A = this chain, B = another copy of it.
Amino acid sequence: MLRFVHLRGPASRATLAESLGLNRSTIMALTADLTAAGLVREELPRRPGRRAGRPSLVVRPESTRVYVLAFDAGVDRLAVARVGLGGEILDRRETTRSPGDPDGAELVNVLAGAARSLVRKAGRDAVCVGAALAFPGVVRRADHQIMFGPNLDVGDVPLGESLSRRLGLGVPVAVCNDADLGALAEHERGAGVGCDDLIYLHGDVGVGGGIIVGGRLLGGQEGFGGEIGHMMVNPNGRPCACGARGCLETEVGERTLLAHAGRAERPGETGRDAVRAVVDAADRGDIVAREALHRVGNWLGFGVANLVNIFNPGMVVFGGTLRDIYLGSAAQVRSVLASSALAAPRERVKLRTSALGDDVTLVGAAEYAFAEVLADPLQVLARLREPAAT
């Protein structure tokens, strides 16, 4: 029930009973427990229903008091948000990052400092129930250890543990692959709501992938699954930071786009803004920019065709810088898809851009952080309140 109001918003007792297939006395009992725990509150509907008689009380998540901290360690941007139960971003801090910026310890400093200022502003009766960090690299699920992340070098610093210690809130900070979190976000709150077989492609210097199979995030044996950016598409392609050659990441990533467009060396033009500048230039008729997008769109099309054949997804979602790259090369992507993917899985697949824009990984981190409390709300809260009571 808490998951329902978290994802779908406030709902009347009657709606909850119907949607969850529970009878009204069960709903009342559950609501009483969750209210006592401070997770939801009940109130009269703001707009009375049409039905005669006593209006059904509306169950509303305690979105300002119960929150998580969502961290996004992008290559060119660091962000922290305080996200309330129900998914609303209540407050945030954001700072740009230059590729030359130093290491993991400094990263933890910046993120922890920003988070602490958000926590202070939250007030004394607010409770942080979880935290997660989106990271552009390969992360082991069991211990959130970063195995590979050439685009954001953090050295040996254990990001999750360091951050958690610096926050001092008694919650661990889960470190997750950014594209996995993007997939989660688009599946639960974005373009892919209702689509249980979805592939999310995320661009942030590198190219990451998050894959939802049958409603669940594909992790594989150790959580490394979804590294679509390192699918080889061009055996004669560019060398990749992973040691291989012609990975999707090297053929469609922003560095390659900027190089094709003759903009690799323009100072100050990096990241999202630089990619948008190429797409804008192409829109205005710039031949070089158009050709650059055409070349990148060609390989992106092959990559998408492979994914369509392998996964038969209902939807492929492009996010991060790939959102703009796809928008600038959609015709080419669709043309390669039409000639390279099998008809059967191709016919019904939808290609979409991220509905959550630049916040997609941040929203995903928040959803990940909420997962445990949604699975067992009363226990998690009891555990968090214990130290305060002693």
Q: Using a CB–CB distance below 8 Å, which chain A residues touch chain B?
A: 138, 140, 147-148, 197, 209, 211, 213-214, 216, 218-228, 230-236, 242-245, 302, 305-306, 309-314, 339-345, 348-349
Contacts and interface: CB of A to CB of B under 8 A. Distances in A.
A310 B209 contact: yes
Contacts of A310: 209, 211, 225-228, 231, 310
Nearest to A138: B344
Contacts of A311: 218, 220, 225
A218 B225 CA distance: 14
B233 A313 contact: no
What is the interface of chain A mostly: helix, strand, loop, or mixed?
Answer: loop
The 4 closest A-B pairs by CB, nearest first: A220-B312, A147-B344, A224-B312, A225-B312
A197 B216 CA distance: 14
Contacts of A305: 232, 244
A3 B98 CA distance: 57
A197 B226 contact: no
A295 to B, nearest CB: 12
A343 B148 contact: yes
Contacts of A344: 138, 140, 147-148, 222, 224
By CB atoms of chain B within 10 A, which of A222, A227, A309, A313 has the most?
Answer: A309
B232 A302 contact: yes
Contacts of A225: 197, 310-312, 345
Contact of A231 (B148, B306, B349): B306
A327 to B, nearest CB: 24
Nearest to A229: B309
A147 B343 contact: yes
A197 B213 contact: no
B306 A220 contact: no
A154 to B, nearest CB: 16
Contacts of A138: 342, 344-345
Contacts of A147: 343-344
A227 B345 contact: yes
A230 B342 contact: yes
Given A234-B235, A235-B233, A345 B220 contact: yes
A245 B234 CA distance: 13
A109 to B, nearest CB: 27
A219 B344 CA distance: 13
Contacts of A349: 221
A228 B305 CA distance: 11
A226 B341 CA distance: 13
A244 B338 CA distance: 9
Nearest to A141: B312
Contacts of A220: 197, 213, 311-314, 345
Contacts of A348: 221-222
B312 A222 contact: yes
A271 to B, nearest CB: 24
A345 B242 CA distance: 12
By CB atoms of chain B within 10 A, which of A214, A342, A349 has the most?
Answer: A342
A214 B244 CA distance: 28
A141 B233 CA distance: 29
A263 to B, nearest CB: 25
